[in-house]
């Protein structure tokens, strides 16, 4: 029986990808590519290794109307149990490299892991980016969400972002990019794929850098669930609530509506940090979705505030 997606013959797609020398894998278990360890089987996982093969795939998918979704490091994403109505696109090859082109000027691929990369840059004596060594996932995802913690955000240090938009390569200076708290224009513009970033960093005191690396690591370990399958913070911190002008954290609201420790299937709101949901075994995406929707409903009813998800849904959750 032929596998089909939107009426397109998969065997034909596979032949076309082979002809274009675009790397891919068939029937890939996407749960292996995310920190939640949740997700179904992707009919095709396409992994371009450079700009040429990436643009080749994008042109091909556009010409033949083939839907795709971009998957990054999988650290802040909930993957559908049935991701079978699109092709999964994941960057590899040169997109996993970073180089110091001149003193303090770094070119960093979007598919490189954030934590070890910024730990290494910090250990080279460059200050300011120590906090990024505690953020999991890929650099591209960190850029899309303007990831941050402990008073810093990745856009504090970005000089430019290289992207492919509408099958054309361009380099965007940071001044031309709209971004804010846990948000950038890239979140809404699904036609943009980030390929690398450029940062200009300054040398600092090595002992102070080492202290910050240790301090931030210990803060993270003391406040977040360790050795648990999760996808990081589920919700963004909301704007201040009018009552007494108090500014709440998302986890406080979740706690106050009694959702700490709540369970759905093998998914559970973390006892340690209730803005985290953990997979205690073989949780499904629908289990996590049930908890998310219940939290949203209870917080809205009690505080009249709509929590905004920080976690991204990958594929249909219906």
Question: Active-site positions?
Answer: 182, 233, 310
Strand partners, 234: none
For residue 10, what is the enclosing H or E element? helix 10-19
β-strand 168-173 against 158-165: which pairing, if any?
antiparallel
For the chain, percent helix, then strand, then coil, each to nearest 5? 35, 25, 40
Neighbour tally for 205: CB within 10 Å: 10
Quote the CA–CA distance of 95 and 110 in Å, as a whole number. Answer: 6
**Cα distances (angstroms) measured from residue 312 to each of 130, 182, 252, 269:** 25, 12, 21, 17
| Structure-derived torsion over alpha carbons of residues 256, 153, 122, 115, reported in degrees to the nearest 10 | 60
Quote the CA–CA distance of 31 and 34 in Å, as a whole number. Answer: 6
The burial class, CB within 10 Å (0-12 / 13-18 / 19+), for 301 is exposed
């Amino acid at each position: 029986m032929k596998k089909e997606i939107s009426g397109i013959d998969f065997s034909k797609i596979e032949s076309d990808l082979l002809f274009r020398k675009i790397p891919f894998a068939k029937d890939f278990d996407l749960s292996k590519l995310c920190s939640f360890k949740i997700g179904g089987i992707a009919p095709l996982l396409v992994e371009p290794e450079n700009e040429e093969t990436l643009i080749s795939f994008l042109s091909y998918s556009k010409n033949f109307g083939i839907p795709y979704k971009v998957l990054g490091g999988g650290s802040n994403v909930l993957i559908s149990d049935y991701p079978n109505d699109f092709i999964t696109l994941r960057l590899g090859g040169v997109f996993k490299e970073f180089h110091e082109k001149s003193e303090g000027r770094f070119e960093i691929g979007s598919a490189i892991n954030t934590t070890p990369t910024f730990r290494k840059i910090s250990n080279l004596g460059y200050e300011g980016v120590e906090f990024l060594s505690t953020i999991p996932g890929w650099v591209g995802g960190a850029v899309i969400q303007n990831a941050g913690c402990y008073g810093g955000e990745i856009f504090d240090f970005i000089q430019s972002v290289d992207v492919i938009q509408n099958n054309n390569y361009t380099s965007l200076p940071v001044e031309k990019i709209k971004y804010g708290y846990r948000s950038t224009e890239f979140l809404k513009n699904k036609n943009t794929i980030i390929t690398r970033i450029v940062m200009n960093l300054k040398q600092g005191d090595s002992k102070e850098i080492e202290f910050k690396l240790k301090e931030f690591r210990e803060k993270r370990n003391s406040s977040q669930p360790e050795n648990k399958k999760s996808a990081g913070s589920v919700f963004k911190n909301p704007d201040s609530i009018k009552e007494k002008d108090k500014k709440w954290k998302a986890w406080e609201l979740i706690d106050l509506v009694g959702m700490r420790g709540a369970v759905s299937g093998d998914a559970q709101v973390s006892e340690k940090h209730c803005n985290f949901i953990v997979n205690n075994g073989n949780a499904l995406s629908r289990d996590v979705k049930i908890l998310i929707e219940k939290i949203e409903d209870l917080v809205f009813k009690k505080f009249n505030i709509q929590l905004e998800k920080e976690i991204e849904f990958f594929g249909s959750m219906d």
